């Protein structure tokens, strides 16, 4: 990745930094999960879940909040490394202009998340828990993939089914 300082000019004339990311060869998380399950190696998903948890915690510790954690913004590269992509919703703790205008993928966001509210730590943790719980659930019960996965739209939870709403 390469940082270009003051590379982009906003409508109000403010110049902001631009991060040029490396191209990632690999599979999005949902394609990876599908491949793992078709090989009958569901237990591998628990390992991926723990790697994911560790990375999220490291990023949060340094104040880097990915505002759109979802199946399509997580990739497993050719070396088996978990990679985060699509940083247009990232909030860096203490930054002057937090990302706004994007609420993230609805199947991974808290129902209260809106485009007018910048990414908060709670948003990051909620999305992370959706991914984390999904991976562990699929590791234990791979049949959830066939009954709850919608191609290209989720892992196993869907907002439209009220999966992300608490009855408590």
Does residue 82 sit in helix, strand or coil?
strand
Tell whether the model's pLDDT for residue 12 goes beyond 70.
yes
DSSP bridge pairs for 65: 91
Percent of the chain having pLDDT more than 90?
A: 51
Tell whether the model's pLDDT for residue 119 goes beyond 70.
no
Cα gap 111→107, rounded to integer Å? 9
| DSSP secondary structure of 3-68 | EEEEEEE-TTS-EEEEEEPPP--EEEHHHHHHHHHHTT-TTHHHHHHHHHHHHHHHHHHTTEE-TT
> How would you list the strands of the sheet with 74-77, edge to edge?
26-28, 74-77, 82-84
Cα gap 124→30, rounded to integer Å? 19
pLDDT category at 98 given cuts 50, 70, 90 is low
pLDDT of residue 101: 58
pLDDT of residue 26: 94
pLDDT of residue 164: 80
């Amino acid at each position: 990745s390469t940082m270009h300082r003051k590379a982009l000019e906003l409508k109000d004339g403010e110049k902001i930094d631009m991060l040029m990311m490396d191209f990632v060869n690999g599979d999005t998380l949902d394609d990876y999960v599908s491949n793992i399950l078709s090989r009958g190696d569901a237990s591998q998903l628990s390992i991926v879940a723990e790697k994911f948890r560790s990375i999220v915690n490291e990023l949060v510790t340094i104040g880097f909040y990915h505002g759109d954690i979802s199946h399509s913004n997580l990739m497993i590269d050719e070396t088996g490394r978990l990679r985060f992509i699509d940083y247009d919703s990232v909030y860096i703790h203490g930054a002057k202009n937090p990302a706004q205008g994007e609420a993230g993928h609805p199947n991974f966001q808290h129902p209260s998340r809106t485009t007018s509210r910048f990414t908060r730590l709670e948003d990051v943790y909620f999305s992370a828990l959706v991914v984390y719980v999904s991976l562990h659930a699929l590791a234990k019960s791979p049949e959830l993939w066939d009954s709850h996965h919608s191609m290209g739209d989720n892992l196993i939870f869907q907002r439209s089914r009220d999966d992300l709403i608490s009855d408590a």
